[in-house]
Structure 1
Amino acid sequence: MKDEHTHAHCHSGEHHHIHTQDSTLEVEKGKEEKTLKILLDHWIEHNKSHEEGFSEWVNKARSMGKIETSQYIEKAVKFMKQADDMLQKAKEYM
């Protein structure tokens, strides 16, 4: 990242500045914000795809008689939905 900062001084008792700053930092920040918005959407959709698969395995585990297993998978799905809600909330603050 290039950060250009120059200034001229007037040494007559007063301190005058002429600043020139390269906008590279601002451009980089904008790119990172766009990337974060994309990632938030991706993470939410990615989690939802896993939730669907997990829900399917809840039923399969039950049919195998693995009740405790199905219950823990069910809990995992609930936590993933909570995570999705938090990611959605994070997206709203962008």
Structure 2
Amino acid sequence: MGEERLKRLIMHWIDHNEEHKARFEEAAREAKTMGLEAVAEALELAAGRASEVSQQLRKALEAFK
């Protein structure tokens, strides 16, 4: 795998991960409206972890420069 392919792959992972993060946040809001606080908290934590993953992927991408 060459550098350009690896960069594209990392960019794809960032985009894909951000989609998951948004869905986790949406599901957390929905869980709250259903009174499922523990579920909402777990989903919010997952969204936060997804943000951390995206941040690390961005650092990996930046390291190419």
Q: Same fold (TM over 0.5)?
A: yes
Give the greater-gyration-radius structure (CA): 1
Match for residue 61 of structure 1 among 31, 55, 58: 31
Match for residue 9 of structure 2 among 4, 23, 39: 39
Give the TM-score normalised by the residue count of structure 2.
0.92
Of Structure 1 and Structure 2, the greater strand share is in: 1
Report the alpha carbon displacement of residue 32 of structure 1 after superposing the two structures with TM: 1.6
Query: For 1:52 and 1:76, how far apart are their aligned partners in 2?
Result: 10
The aligned amino acid for 1:53 is R
Query: For 2:12 and 2:25, how far apart are their aligned partners in 1?
Result: 20
Of Structure 1 and Structure 2, the greater helix share is in: 2
Runs ≥4 residues deviating over 2 A: none
Which 5+ residue runs of structure 1 have no aligned equivalent?
1-30
Cα RMSD after superposing both structures: 0.9
What's 1:70 paired with? 40
Query: For 2:40 and 2:26, how far apart are their aligned partners in 1?
Result: 10
Q: Are 2:55 and 1:85 aligned?
A: yes
Query: For 1:60 and 1:71, how far apart are their aligned partners in 2?
Result: 12
Higher relative contact order by CA 8 Å / sep ≥ 6: 1 or 2? 2
Which 5+ residue runs of structure 2 have no aligned equivalent?
none
Report the alpha carbon displacement of residue 88 of structure 1 after superposing the two structures with TM: 0.2
